[in-house]
Amino acid sequence: MVERAEIVTAPARLVRPAGHLWLTAFRTLRRSKSATIGGAIVLAMVVVALAAPVLSPYDPLEIHVPRRLTGPGPAHLFGTDNMGRDILSRVIYGARVSLLVGGLVVLSAAGAGVALGLVAGYHDRLDRILMRIMDGLMAFPTTLLAIALMAALGARLSNVIFALAIVFTPRVARVVRSVTLVARELDYVQAAQALGARDSRILARHVLPNCLAPVIVQSTFIFAESVLAEAALSFLGVGLPPYVPSWGTIITTGRMFIQTAPWITIFPGVAILVAVLGLNLLGDGLRDLTDPRLRGAVS
């Protein structure tokens, strides 16, 4: 599987470190329609999540039984659930959970993946061991491994993040390793080596920047998958406990009332769809921008 995956994911163009990173990133983003739309959706999601206390009309945890199972209306735009909790507020706070899970999973998976990938790509002896372990972890379908980890760890937010980080780390490590393998052979890296630069310096100054673009692309997709995976785990009852306002748990609650109160399931479902769509669009766009040869490819 090692060999094959590299064909799909090995980047052709190697990016040199940019000066004004943010400005360049913004300008670059504007060149792709899907990246622009995706970026806008993701930005909106971030704003909603950060401004949740301001935006949500009610406390998402507030139980007010007399108003239970109210349909969408002026008082409750998305209606209420069987405990009278406001669905709109729960969906808004659900964005927080999704963002938190997705963000922390991406940070941990990218952090661990980059470190492992660099080491593996640079040290032939460690490469064999590390990549075998990554292969072993990748032999599990993602949801299954996450479910098994959750079973062992228990239904908590931190455990969802930990489980998904473990699941996605090998992917980043793979990508980084293949970039490193290519970068090692580049002239200026060879030159630096010949001049006696320390390994850590070479990795940090010359190899790491080359990994940036593919890791960002990969991270966007991991983000999208984490949002989906968290929702699925919570829906299955092995993710977050039902009182936490996550899009998955809201749907689980609503499942029992899908005929009498379909609004409980519809709105969080749409929220997941839009968020994941945005992330995928952004990922597609970024990939096209950084690697036009692979336009439309999926890692």
Partner 1 sequence: MTGYIIRRIAALVPVLVIVATVGFFLIYLTPGDPAAVMLGPDATQEELENLRRLMGLDRPLLVQLLRWYGRTLRGDLGYSIFLQRPVLQAIIERLEPTVLLTLFSLALAVAIGIPAGVIAAVRRNSWIDQAAMGVALFGVSVPNFWLGLNLILIFSVWLGVLPVAGYVPVEQSLAGAVRSLVLPAVVLGISGSALIARMTRSSMLEVLGQDYIRTARAKGNLERRVVYRHALRNAMIPTVTVIGLALGGLLAGAIVTETVFALPGVGRLVISSVLRRDYPVIQGILMFIAAIYVVINLLIDVVYVYLDPRVKYV
Partner 2 sequence: MSIRAIRFGALAIVLVLTAVLTVPGAAQQPRRGGALRIAHIGEPPTLDQHWTTAAITGHIMYNVNEGLFALTTKFEPRPVLVERWTTSGDRLTYTFHLRRGVKFHNGKDLTSEDVKASLERWGRIATRGRALWPNVAALTTPDPHTVVMKLREPYGLLLVDLALPGQSAVIFPKEVIDEAGAGPVRRFVSTGPYRFVEHLPDRHIRLDRFDGYAARTEEPDGATGRKHAYFDSIYILPVPDAAVRIAGVKRGEYHFAETVPPDEYDRLRTDPELMPYITKTANWLTAVFNHRSPLMGNRKVRQAFQAALDHEAVMRAAYGNPRFWRLDPGLMPKEHYLWTDAGKEFFNQKNPARARQLLGEAGYRGEPVRWVTTMEYVAYGTAAQVVKPMLETAGFTVDLQVVDWATLVARRARPELWDVFSTAFSFVPDPVFLLSLQPTWPGWYDNRDMNAMMTLLRRHADPKVRHDLWKRMQKLWYEDAGTIKFGDYFLLHLHRRELRGYENIPTHIWWNAWLEGR
Please identify, among the stretches 96-104, 117-125, 183-191, 235-243, the one whose residues bind partner 2 according to the rule CB under 8 A: 235-243
By C-beta, is 103 or 269 nearer to partner 2?
269
Which pair of tokens denotes residue 54? 């301001």
User: How far apart, in Å, are the Cα atoms of 99 and each of 10, 93, 252, 272?
Assistant: 28, 10, 19, 11
CB atoms inside a 10 Å sphere around CB 125? 8
Secondary structure of the chain: what % helix, strand, coil (to 5)? 75, 0, 25
115 in contact with partner 2 (CB under 8 A): no
Taken in order 238, 242, 245, 251, is the CA torsion positive or negative? positive
DSSP state, 48?
H
Residue holding tokens 């228990």? Answer: 154
Find the binding residues for partner 2 in span 154-193 (CB under 8 A). Answer: 155
153 in contact with partner 2 (CB under 8 A): no
By C-beta, is 67 or 184 nearer to partner 2?
67
Q: Whole-number minimum distance, CB 110 to partner 1, in Å?
A: 21
By C-beta, is 165 or 240 nearer to partner 2?
240
255 in contact with partner 2 (CB under 8 A): yes
Contacts with partner 1 by CB under 8 A lie at: 1-4, 7-8, 132-133, 135-137, 139-145, 147-154, 224, 228, 231-232, 235-238, 251, 255, 258-259, 262, 265, 269, 272-273, 276-277, 280-281, 284, 293-298
Distance of CA 117 to the CA centre of its chain: 18
Q: Whole-number minimum distance, CB 240 to partner 2, in Å?
A: 10
Site string for partner 2, 266-285 (x = CB under 8 A): --------------------
Distance of CA 264 to the CA centre of its chain: 25
67 in contact with partner 2 (CB under 8 A): no
What is the spatial distance between Cα 15 and Cα 129, in angstroms, rounded to a whole number? 29
* Candidate residues 65, 107, 129, 144; the one interacting with partner 2 per rule CB under 8 A: 65
What is the spatial distance between Cα 46 and Cα 148, in angstroms, rounded to a whole number? 30
262 in contact with partner 2 (CB under 8 A): no
By C-beta, is 157 or 203 nearer to partner 2?
157
By C-beta, is 53 or 154 nearer to partner 1?
154
258 in contact with partner 2 (CB under 8 A): yes
* Burial of residue 235 (number of CB atoms within 10 Å: 0-12, 13-18, 19+): buried
Q: Which helix (H) or strand (E) holds 91?
A: helix 87-122
Amino acid, single-letter form, for residue 31: R
The residues of the shown chain that bind partner 2, judged by CB under 8 A, are 61-63, 65-66, 68-69, 82-84, 155, 237, 241-243, 252, 255-260
